[in-house]
Structure 1
C-alpha cells in the first residue's frame, strides 16, 4: 500500500490523487493491501472526526483482477464495484484507441444546438454570435485537457461552416469563402472564427503527452530577452526583437562561431558597443541589435513569449501565433496595410452588425451576383436581370446598374465618383473613403445594403419602392439604430480625477512620460519634479534611441525618473506616469518576463535606495507637463537637457495644473 502503483512502465509510482473534494486511492488488488487501506481510513476517521461516506465511495478493478479477488476485496471494504468511471467533471476518465468514439458526444451537442437554431430567422450577424459564443465554445473545455482527433475537428468545422452559409435539411447553399480564410482575424479579412485543428495544437493532448504537443508551438514563438548576455549564442539562438527578424542573418565569421551576446556589451557603460557591432554585422542586424534595451545591472537572460505583452504564454496567443505563421506561408501581396485599414473601417462602422457582415461579404467578393453564380456553375447566364447588361458582378449590382445609380444620383458629393471607372468594388470603397470632405461611410454601406435587398426582391417578383427612395430610408435607418445605441452620459461626480494633484505627504512628486519620434527612430523622455506646494524643482528632457516599443520607452522614462530623484537627493517621492501597463509592472510581478522587464527591475532596484516611494497612474491630462518635456526632447541640441525650471513654452501647462 505504501509503495503505490506504477502509472506506466518505468514511470512514477502513484498512491493517491486529490481533485477538489474527491480522492482517488491506488493499491494492489490483494486482501492484505486492502485491509491495510481500511486500517488507514479508520485511523483517519478516529483522528479527524470525519467519516468516509460509503454510499458515495466505489471501487474499480483492472481487467487482470480475478472475480474471486474482487468479491473478497469488496467484502473487506464494504463498497460497491463499478465497471468503469465514465466521466469525471464532464470529461472522459479513460480514452481508448477509438478516440473519435470517445468524444462523439461533443459532435452530438454541437449538432443539436445548430439544429435548434435552424428554424429561427437569423442573419449572418446573428449566426456569427451563436457560433462564437456557443458552437465553438462547447469543445473548448474538453480541448483544454485532450487533443481532439483531426477527423472530429473536421466534422465540427464542417457543421459550423454549413450553418454559417445557411445550409439546411432541404437546402444547400454555396460556401463562398474557404474555412481557413473565415478563421483569420477580422483585421486580416476573416471573421475571427476558431480553427479547431490549429487551436488543439496550442492546448493539451492525451494525458502525459499534453506538454509535448504544444512544445513546438511554444518553441517557435520563444525569443531570448537579453540580460547580461552570457547565456545567448549570437548566431545560434533567437534574440532580436524586430518583427520577422529574430535571428542574426550576417554570415558567421569562423573565429566567432560560438560567441555570446555579452561580448557585444561594454562592461564599463553596460551599453551596446556600437563600433564593434557595426564592424561585424550587416546594417540590418546592427540596427536591430542596438535597439534592444539593456539593463543597468547584470540580470540573467530569460526566454519570453512573443505573443503577449507580459511575455507569458497563453492559449489565445498560441492560436494567434499559428494563424500568423499560416498566413506567412501563403502567397499574398507585399503590402497588406491598405487591406488592414479597409477591414478596420468595416468593423468600426456604426451600423447594425448585419450591414457590417454584408460589407465584408461585398469586399470579399462573396455575394451571389450573377457572375459569381456562373463561376460556380449555378446559372448559365451572367447577365443583369435589372438592366439586361451582359455581366452582373458586385460592382455592377451596387453601383454601375442604372437601377443602382438612381439611388446614388441624389447625392451631389458623388458626382465625380460616378464619372470614374473602377475595376472592382474595393476600388470604389477606397475612392469614396478618401473623398474630401469625408463621405459618411455608414450611409454608403447602408445604401449598398438596401440596393442589394431591393435587387433580390425584384428578381423574386416582389413589390419594391422606387430606387430614389433608398437614401431617405437609409438615413432614417441609421438614425434609428444610432439613437438606440447612445449610452447615458456618466455622472460627472463619478468620473476619475484627471488633473495633477500635489503630493499627499511632505515629499516630492515626480511625473514622467515618454514620446516616440517615428521619423528619426528616436524617442524622448520628459520628467518634472515638484514639491509639496506644487512648485517645480527640476525638469529633464532627454533624447534616446527608440527601444522598439512604446512600453519600453515608458519603462525607460520611469527608470530615468527614479535615477533623477536620486541625483537630486530626494528621499520621499511619489512617481506618476500615464502608462497603465508600466505602473502595473512597477507595482507587481505580472510583467517580469516582458521585453521591458529588465528596465522595470532596474527601476525597482533604484527605488529601494529611497526612504519612501510609490508608483501611481495618472491620465494624460494630469501628466501634460512631463509629456510636453518628452516631446521637447526631439529639438534638444544636447541628449540630456536638465533644468531647474520649466521652459517658457511649457509654463502655461504648469499654471493649469496649479489651478
Structure 2
C-alpha cells in the first residue's frame, strides 16, 4: 500500500512503523501532513473492519528534535494531543538523560513508599531479609533492565536497604551486626544471599547475565538451572541437564496452532484487506 512512511534506523537497519504492547499501539514515522492523513485513513479503515474505534483524546503525538509548533499543527490534523520529550511510557521515562539523579526519582519514591508501609520494629531480622529479597530486590528490575543506573543511585538504594535491614532510619542508627559484603554474599559461602543491586543491574543489562559463564548467579539461583538447553549445546551433558530439569520449570512460548474457525477468520480478514485501497 505504501501510504505511510515509516522510520528507518541508521546503518542500513530495519524500518519501524509500529510497536504493539497489550492494548497500546505506537506508530513511528516521519512527521508530515501526508503521514498524518495516512494515519487517519489507516485508523479509519481499522475501525470499519474491526468495529474498534480509536480514542484520539487519549492519543498523543511526540516529535524528536522537531519544532513544537510543527508537532502541534500535525496533532491538530489527527485531532489528538501534542506532547513533549521526555515523557512516561509504560512506566518508564523516555527521552530523558538517565545519567542524571533526578530522573531516577520514580524508583527512589517507590522504595520510600513501600518502606513507609512496614513497621521495622515489628519485624525480626529474618522477616526484614525476606522482604528485602522478595519485594525490594524486584522494585527496580524494570528500570534496571532498560537503563544502567548511576553509581549514586545504587548507593542511595543500597543505603535504604541497609537501614531497613538493621532497623535504623535517617535520625537514629542501629547496630550493623555483620558487614554489608557479608549480607550480599551467597548463602553457600556463608552470607545472607542478598543480591547486590549493581550486580543485578549489570546482569539485567546483559539480558539476564553473561550466558557464557556458568557461575553467574542471581541471588542463590544459577542461570544455567533455567537455561538448560544452553548447557546441552555447550557441554553436551544431556544426562546432567535432564536431571537438572526435574527441579525447575520452563515457559511454553509456542502458541497452539489455529483451529479451523480461527484459520477461516484470518483468511476472511486477509481477503477484505486485499480489496482495500486508500
Q: Is the 8 A contact 1:131 1:160 kept in 2?
A: yes
Q: 1:169 to 1:38 in 2, by over 3 A?
A: closer
Q: 2:239 — aligned with what?
A: 552
Question: RMSD of the alignment, in Å?
Answer: 3.6
Question: Is 1:192 matched up with 2:193?
Answer: yes
Structure-2 separation of matches of 1:155 and 1:580: 38
Cα 1:110–1:44 change in 2 (3 A) is closer
Larger Rg: 1
Q: Deviations over 1:90-144 (max 9, x none)?
A: 2223342534322222122213433443564332122212222222222123323
| Higher relative contact order, chain-length normalized (CA < 8 Å, sep 6+) | 2
Name the CA distance, whole Å, in 1 between partners of 2:213 and 2:118.
40
Q: Secondary structure at the match of 2:31?
A: coil
1:307 aligns to 2:227 (yes or no): no
Match of 1:128 in 2: 129
Tell me, what secondary structure is at the counterpart of 1:17?
Answer: strand
**Contact persistence 2:99–2:149 (CA under 8 A):** no
In the alignment, structure 1 residue 162 sits paired with structure 2 residue 160 = no
SS in 2 for 1:173: coil
The residue number in structure 1 matching 2:52 is 50
Aligned with residue 61 of structure 1, among 46, 60, 63? 63
User: What SS is found at the alignment partner of 1:24?
Assistant: strand
Equivalent position SS for 1:219: coil
Distance 1:171 1:77 in 2: 57
1:58/1:82 contact within 8 Å kept: yes
Pick aligned residue for 2:43 from 41, 44, 59: 41
Instruction: Please state how far the C-alpha of 1:306 moved relative to its aligned partner.
Output: 7.6
**Mapping 1:424-443, distance limit 5 Å:** none
User: Is residue 196 of structure 2 the alignment partner of residue 221 of structure 1?
Assistant: no
Q: Which runs of 4+ in 1 moved over 6 A?
A: none
Alignment correspondent of 1:300: none
Shift of 1:311: 2.1
The partner residue of 1:21 within 20, 23, 29 is: 23
Give the alignment's TM-score, normalised by structure 2.
0.70
Could you list the per-position Cα deviations for residues 435-494 of structure 1 after superposition, in whole angstroms to 9, with x for gaps in the alignment? xxxxxxxxxxxxxxxxxxxxxxxxxxxxxxxxxxxxxxxxxxxxxxxxxxxxxxxxxxxx
Q: Counterparts of 2:179 and 2:32 in 1: how far apart (Å)? A: 59
The answer to whether the 8 A contact 1:59-1:81 is kept is: yes
CA distance in 1, matches of 2:241, 2:128: 42
Q: Tell me if the contact between 1:31 and 1:72 (Cα under 8 Å) persists in the aligned partners.
A: no
In the TM superposition, 1:580-659 aligns within 5 A as 581=245
Equivalences, count: 238
| Cα shift at 1:25 | 0.8
Partner residue, 1:139: 140
Per-residue deviation at 1:175?
A: 2.7
Structure 2 unaligned spans of 5+: 216-221, 231-236, 253-278
The equivalent of 2:234 in structure 1 is none
